[in-house]
Structure 1
Amino acid sequence: MTDVLILADVDHQEGSCVPCSMEQGMMIDALQQAIAADAALSSGSYTVHLSSPQQRPTLGRDALICPLTLNVPSDLQFAGQAIYQICQDIAGLRQWVRREWGLLTGEGDLWLPVALTAKGPLYGEVIGSEAANSAAQADSTAIAYYQPLHLSDRLRQPLYGLAGQLLRSHLAPPAVYLMQFKFEGTAICFDRLFPFPAAPAIASIGVQVPNLFAAHWRCITRRSLQDLVIPGFVPHRVVGE
């Protein structure tokens, strides 16, 4: 039996954990479903715990810690500790990107998913965002994200190169990462890096196989992951053709 601790932005109320947002709840559910599906296929045995980073339970040294938030304390010991600290310092990482590669930096509204496996990176289709109408927003803000946003080769290849260099330069461990950015013309403007499938990854549920939460679980458990596939019948938007 392996203990799995999901750390998320939740409130502890009367012995239960209540997500602080609908998006956070969807992220937690998606990761829990990925763990359960993997256990059913592999005959693995997991006990999943959910907690805020501040009120986390004491578990054994072999527990697998899976934060779904950047709000993790600096003294938390887990495989992604170093990269989480780097990603927490948004201004510092932007400055590093400007200094190292001379790129533009600033607020972005696009996300490149990267499933970093033990064998190397797999790049997913870009996730975009748009304002949700007020009626739909009352039900869920997740519809503000969509996938896939298909890029032309002249936009895609430099983007993949930046993400790959960024992860290699910071010795990132296997996981799913989201690189947030935008385009200024054809130039990349870097925003930030998430070391887990953040809220925009919700767009991959029911669209990408495996979705980004299932891919994240396979990456952090060092399981094989061959590809990130979006079936041909899924409608997509095109940029830069």
Structure 2
Amino acid sequence: MSKVIIIVNAQVDGGKICSTAPVAEIMAIALKNSIMKDNKFHEVKIISAADLWSRSLNISQQDEDIIYFPLTIKLPEWFNFPAQHIYFACRDLEKRRKWVQQHFGYKTSKDNLWLGDLWLPIIFSGEKFIYGEIIGEGVIPNSYQQPYDYPSQLYSPLQKLGGELLKSIQAIPSVYLLQFKMLEQDIIFDRLWPFPATPAIASINVQQPNLFACHWLCFNNQCPEIRVLNLKDKV
């Protein structure tokens, strides 16, 4: 039996996420349910990133049976886990944006200008890239839509950008979200998330397996078979 620790950007008390962070709770529960469905003998614990920063938790990073799944990019540099270099690479927004400018010639977000409101899920199994349906931001805060109506002729350049970007950071099996914006027919690159970030909640009850389940499957070197559910499937 392995111990799985899910790290969230929210207050956690006794393993329960604070009611003021409902999205973090949805994300964590979706990942936890996926893990338990795959192997009910895993022990899954949810902790706060803030407790990690304050070192108020007794975390043993030497225990090889502990698996860490951070659902936040805000992690202390001393916290060592297998995907640490990927998280740090994605956190360096300026470097990633310069890379995209140099290799693809796309415009990129800067400060609060052209912030991305679209996300391309990239499921990397270790053997191949699987591209999910585009996720779009809704009018209500923390509301997202999948699939989003996106011009079909722009899928190919967007997927190429995502694949090459992952190769450039020596990506490991995981679910990534490529955040971008469209200005007419122009792709504006914003950033890359190294885990199923907040917009991934749109995949719950829309995609089978959802992006959080895919995240777990990729960690176990499995290649998910994606199916978009229709209204009949959801009933």
The answer, yes or no, to whether TM exceeds 0.5 is yes
SS at match of 2:178: strand
The residue correspondences of 1:97-116 to structure 2 (distance < 5 A) are 97-106=100-109, 107-116=115-124
Q: Look up the equivalent residue of 2:212 and give its one-letter code.
A: F
Q: Report deviation, 1:99.
A: 2.5
Q: Look up the equivalent residue of 1:21 and give its one-letter code.
A: A
Q: Look up the equivalent residue of 1:85 and give its one-letter code.
A: F
Q: Report deviation, 1:150.
A: 4.1
Question: Is 2:181–2:189's contact at 8 Å kept on the other side of the alignment?
Answer: yes
Cα distance in 2, alignment partners of residues 166 and 185 from structure 1: 23
The residue correspondences of 1:21-60 to structure 2 (distance < 5 A) are 21-40=21-40, 45-53=41-49, 54=52, 55-59=56-60, 60=63
- The match for 1:138 is none
SS at match of 1:108: coil
Cα distance in 1, alignment partners of residues 215 and 176 from structure 2: 8
User: Gaps spanning 5+ residues in structure 2: where?
Assistant: 110-114
- The match for 2:3 is 3
Q: Look up the equivalent residue of 2:59 and give its one-letter code.
A: T
Q: TM-score, normalised by structure 1?
A: 0.85
Question: Is 2:15–2:45's contact at 8 Å kept on the other side of the alignment?
Answer: no
User: Cα distance 1:168–1:228, how it changes in 2: closer, same or farther (>3 A)?
Assistant: same
Q: Report deviation, 1:152.
A: 3.5
User: Cα distance 1:91–1:174, how it changes in 2: closer, same or farther (>3 A)?
Assistant: same
Q: Structure 1 segments of 4 or more deviating over 4 A?
A: none
Question: Is 1:125–1:150's contact at 8 Å kept on the other side of the alignment?
Answer: no
The residue correspondences of 1:134-173 to structure 2 (distance < 5 A) are 141-142=141-142, 144-173=143-172
Q: Report deviation, 1:223.
A: 2.3
Residue by residue over 1:177-220, the C-alpha shift from the partner in whole angstroms, topping out at 9 and shown as x without a partner, is: 00100112222110011111111000000000110000001011
The residue correspondences of 1:14-93 to structure 2 (distance < 5 A) are 15-19=14-18, 21-40=21-40, 45-53=41-49, 54=52, 55-59=56-60, 60-93=63-96
Question: Is 2:175–2:215's contact at 8 Å kept on the other side of the alignment?
Answer: yes
User: Cα distance 1:56–1:80, how it changes in 2: closer, same or farther (>3 A)?
Assistant: farther
- The match for 2:130 is 122
CA RMSD of aligned residues (A): 1.8
Q: Report deviation, 1:153.
A: 3.3
Cα distance in 2, alignment partners of residues 16 and 118 from structure 1: 31
Cα distance in 2, alignment partners of residues 57 and 104 from structure 1: 44
Q: TM-score, normalised by structure 2?
A: 0.87
The residue correspondences of 1:166-205 to structure 2 (distance < 5 A) are 166-205=165-204
- The match for 1:137 is none
Cα distance in 2, alignment partners of residues 110 and 194 from structure 1: 12
1:131 aligns with 2:129: no
Residue by residue over 1:114-154, the C-alpha shift from the partner in whole angstroms, topping out at 9 and shown as x without a partner, is: 1100211100000001212xxxxxxxx54x20000143431
Q: Look up the equivalent residue of 1:25 and give its one-letter code.
A: E
SS at match of 1:70: coil
**Number of residue-to-residue matches in the alignment:** 219
Question: Is 2:205–2:229's contact at 8 Å kept on the other side of the alignment?
Answer: no
User: Cα distance 1:101–1:29, how it changes in 2: closer, same or farther (>3 A)?
Assistant: same
Question: Is 2:4–2:42's contact at 8 Å kept on the other side of the alignment?
Answer: yes
